[in-house]
Amino acid sequence: MTAFKLGLLLLVMNFVHSELITNETAAREFANEVNAGSEVVMYNFVAASWNYNTNITTENQQAMVDESLKLALFDQAVEANASRYDWKNFSDTDLNRLFSKLVDIGTAAMTDKVKLERLNNIMSEMEAIYSTGKVCLTENNCLPLDPDLSRLMATSTDYDELLTVWKGWRDATGAKIKDLYKEFVSLSNEAIVQNGYPDTGAYWKSWYDTPTFEEDLKTLFETLKPLYVNLHAYTRKKLKERYGADKFPTSGHIPAHILGNMWAQTWGNLFDLLEPYPGKDDIDVTPQMVQQNYTAEKMFQVSDEFFKSLGLIEMPSEFWDHSMLKKPTDGRDVVCHASAWDFYNKKDFRVKQCTDITMEDLITVHHEMGHIEYYLQYKDQHVVYRDGANPGFHEAVGDVISLSVQTPTHLQKIGLLPEVTNDEEAEINFLMKMALQKIAFLPFGYLIDQWRWSVFSGETTPDNYNQKWWDLRCGLQGISPPEDRTEDDFDPGAKFHIPGNTPYIRYFVSFVIQFQFHKSLCQAAGQNVPLHQCDIYQSTAAGQKLSEMLKLGSSKPWPEAMMMIAGEDKMNAAALMEYFQPLTTWLIEQNDVYKLVFAESNP
């Protein structure tokens, strides 16, 4: 049946019935028809979206918006007709769960077509401004984020040059997005209210289906904070040696532009400066990758090989034929921020990434491949279940794999690390590298949606957008703006996920639960070593355990999926703490005193 016919049928059915339908066999049939119709409408939307993301033009934008409107109409019809069933009282709990998802249609609930179209246009415009943003260092030298500005932020040690780029990026993106974002917030909320939620943030939180979600997050954050604060204090001390203490505020904050990353979200690019025992093994394998003429394709093949070694599903030929693994050189504007795509036809799965030949991007490659592996594993589920157990699960899959990939012994196995030393100093070096990736990120991952939830709920209004942003950045990350910011600036808009409207708490969740997954998969693999040394490569037992969980998609509440893979049904920071224990001890010794408050710690 075509999507159009199904839509029509659904609408007609809407007028025929008046009482709630209790027949569960009929309900199952209805759900199956919706599945077939959804696959078509979703495919059309994803394909149009892909076209826009890989070639930003006004025609492609219009085509994408058109498809998103068709999808919204389809969703509205499904919702209206699913609501004709007495699904809340179904005896079949799966059918009940399925229907609860059919009626939960997000911003597609907006009935005013003009507003819905405007909402979709705003979203694509914000994405275009972000993705085509450039910073001009001189009149004739204007650089995009990827790869140029990212590389500059990663490698420059010139305080003023970093400041020019940092500020330039925020002028080129955030400041231009603020008015659109204001309008977006109001339209998105208007749509979501029609779907029965108080605001967009509440809707996003509902995906975790945990009444204590925010408290749970806070508990996790508080548990992990001392480790972050120790890393922060050590990093600040080293950065002071590099840039001079006069560049640092007396409050104990670190200027936001000198942490090796445009948003100070991960600090791995400072490893040279922060390496505890310099002169040990070269655990940053970027030079090796360059020397061995690594290409983007090669990086994806390396990742595919790891998944295969676990007995998981390899990438289908469509993946290799249609993915965009490199930034195009034909002058097209594209959305460079890496993403993984499910076309909902059970065949077409793609990655879009402007891959740079670096270790950092090799990790992102595994991250994206994790998303695709999840898509492949749950492809036979109903469309509404083709999703992560919760959004954090989806983000964790590839990261779990890269926890193994990054161990020095594994890097040696795949020829990227000529020498591996097994002593305590090498171990601390390695854990420092991992901490700059995993621990440095925690407050950033935690705060983005603290900001957004407060914006969506109306607690933070447009005249306080930037102030609230910096309150969170200073208070939780312990970083400060390198120069005065005002409400003409809109610094949240300079981070992809704000204009791209991708919720962010999923990454904080992922950074915690990926260590729970890792620990349990390591046990399945029979790896009797400290957690940070474990490499599950070639363990089909670990692969089997992972695969069983992935296959569920979102068909079961996430605590069940968690129980299956981790043997416990809650998020828990213990595995993460265990992984970093030797470094925690080392940092405490280095820092001498345990400094818990940024404002009071200024060695």
For ligand X8Z, the binding residues (CB under 6 A) are 265, 338-339, 364, 367, 507
Known active-site residue 368: yes
Can you name the residues that pair with 350 across neighbouring β-strands?
341
Residue 339 binds which of ligand X8Z, Zn ion, none (CB < 5-8 A, kind-dependent): ligand X8Z
Q: Which does 364 bind (CB under 5 to 8 A by kind): ligand X8Z, Zn ion, none?
A: ligand X8Z
* DSSP per-residue letters across 352-393: E----SSHHHHHHHHHHHHHHHHHHHTTTS-GGG-S-SSHHH
- Amino acid 113 reads K
CB under 5 to 8 A by kind: which of Zn ion, ligand X8Z, none does 190 bind? none
Q: How far apart are CA 436 and CA 195, in angstroms?
A: 41
Query: CA 442, CA 434: separation in Å to the nearest integer?
Result: 13
Neighbours of 359 (CB within 10 A): 21
Residue 68 binds which one of ligand X8Z, Zn ion, none, with CB within 5 to 8 A depending on kind?
A: none
Q: Which of 506, 216, 155, 520 is nearest to 356 (CA)?
A: 155
How far is Cα 435 from Cα 439, in angstroms, rounded to an integer? Answer: 5
Residue 284 site contact among Zn ion, ligand X8Z, none (CB < 5 to 8 Å, cut-off depends on kind) = none
Q: How far is the CB of 352 from Zn ion (least distance, A)?
A: 12
Which of 263, 290, 295, 303 shows the shortest CA–CA distance to 397? 303
Of all helices (H) and strands (E), which one includes residue 594?
A: none
- β-pairing verdict for 254-255 and 134-138: unpaired
Rounded CA-CA distance 179/170 in Å is 15
Residue with the two structure tokens 């002071």: 240
Q: Give the residue nearest to Zn ion (CB).
A: 395
Q: Of these partners, ligand X8Z, Zn ion, none, which one is at the site of residue 285 (CB under 5 to 8 Å by kind)?
A: none
Q: Which residues contact 32 (CB under 8 A, 6 or more apart)?
A: none
* Minimum CB distance to ligand X8Z smaller for 44 or for 339: 339
Nearer Cβ to ligand X8Z, position 364 or 533?
364
Q: Residues 80-112, buried b or exposed e (16+ Cβ, 10 A)?
A: ebbebbebeebeeeebbbbbebbbbbbbbbbee
- The one of Zn ion, ligand X8Z, none whose footprint includes residue 348, by CB under 5 to 8 A per kind, is none
Please give the DSSP secondary-structure letter assigned to residue 143.
Answer: E
Does residue 485 have a known ligand-binding role?
Answer: no
By 3-state DSSP, what share of the chain in percent is helix, strand and coil, each rounded to 5? Answer: 65, 5, 30
Shortest distance (Å) from residue 354 CB to ligand X8Z: 11
For residues 118 and 459, give the distance between their C-alpha atoms in angstroms, rounded to a whole number.
Answer: 24
Kindly tell me which of 27 and 363 has the beta carbon lying closer to ligand X8Z: 363
- Please report, in angstroms and rounded to a whole number, the separation of the first and last CA atoms in the chain: 69
Q: At what angle do helices 574-591 and 505-524 cross, to 10 degrees?
A: 100
Asked if the bond preceding 147 is cis, omega within 30° of 0, the reply is yes
251: helix, strand or coil: coil
Task: Tell me the residue number closest to ligand X8Z, measured at CB.
Answer: 338
Task: Give which of ligand X8Z, Zn ion, none residue 507 binds (C-beta under 5 to 8 Å, depending on kind).
Answer: ligand X8Z
With contacts defined by CB under 5 A, name the span among 86-94, 146-154, 388-396, 508-516 that binds Zn ion. Answer: 388-396
For ligand X8Z, which is the closer residue by CB, 360 or 427? 360
Query: Is residue 367 marked as binding?
Result: yes
Rounded Cα distance between 345 and 485, Å, is 47
Minimum separation from the CB atom of position 370 to Zn ion (A): 8
Which partner, ligand X8Z, Zn ion, none, binds residue 338 by CB below 5 to 8 Å per kind? Answer: ligand X8Z
Burial class (CB in 10 A: 0-12, 13-18, 19+), 151: middle
d(CA 202, CA 195): 11
- Helices and strands (DSSP H and E) totals, the chain: 24, 6
Nearest-approach distance from CB 441 to ligand X8Z, in angstroms: 7
67 vs 395, beta carbon nearer Zn ion: 395
Min separation Cβ 367 and ligand X8Z, Å: 6
Each residue 392-411 as x (binds Zn ion by CB under 5 A) or -, in order, gives ---x----------------
Q: By C-alpha distance, which of 357, 388, 326 is closest to 549?
A: 388
Q: Least distance in Å: CB of 47 to ligand X8Z? A: 20
361 or 427: whose CB is closer to ligand X8Z? Answer: 361
Cβ nearer to ligand X8Z, comparing 110 with 123 = 123
| Rounded least distance, CB 525 to Zn ion, Å | 24
Q: Of 117, 125, 497, 568, which is the active-site residue?
A: 497
Q: Is there a catalytic annotation at residue 33? A: no
Of 167 and 367, nearer to ligand X8Z (C-beta) is 367
Cα-to-chain-centroid distance, residue 484: 29
Determine the Cα–Cα distance for residues 106 and 129; give it in Å rounded to an integer. Answer: 25
Residue tagged active-site, from 67, 190, 360, 368: 368
Q: Is 395 or 535 the residue whose CB approaches Zn ion more closely?
A: 395
CB 351 within 8 A of CB 368: yes
In angstroms, give the least distance from the CB of 505 to ligand X8Z.
Answer: 11
The binding track of 116-155 with respect to Zn ion, each residue x by CB under 5 A or -, is ----------------------------------------
Contact window for Zn ion (CB under 5 A) among 154-162, 206-214, 391-399, 431-439: 391-399
Total of chain residues touching Zn ion, rule CB under 5 A: 1
208 is in an annotated binding site: yes
Compute the distance between CA of residue 585 and CA of residue 597 in angstroms, rounded to an integer: 19
Residue 84 interacts, among ligand X8Z, Zn ion, none and using kind-specific CB cut-offs from 5 to 8 Å, with: none
CB-wise, 371 or 545, nearer to ligand X8Z?
Answer: 371
Q: How far is the CB of 517 from Zn ion (least distance, A)?
A: 15
CB 368, min distance to Zn ion, A: 7
Distance from C-alpha of 253 to C-alpha of 481, rounded to nearest angstrom: 9
Residues belonging to the binding site are 208, 367, 371, 395, 506
Residues belonging to the binding site for chloride are 208, 506
Enumerate binding residues for Zn ion (CB under 5 A): 395
Residues belonging to the binding site for Zn(2+) are 367, 371, 395
* Residues with active-site annotation: 368, 497
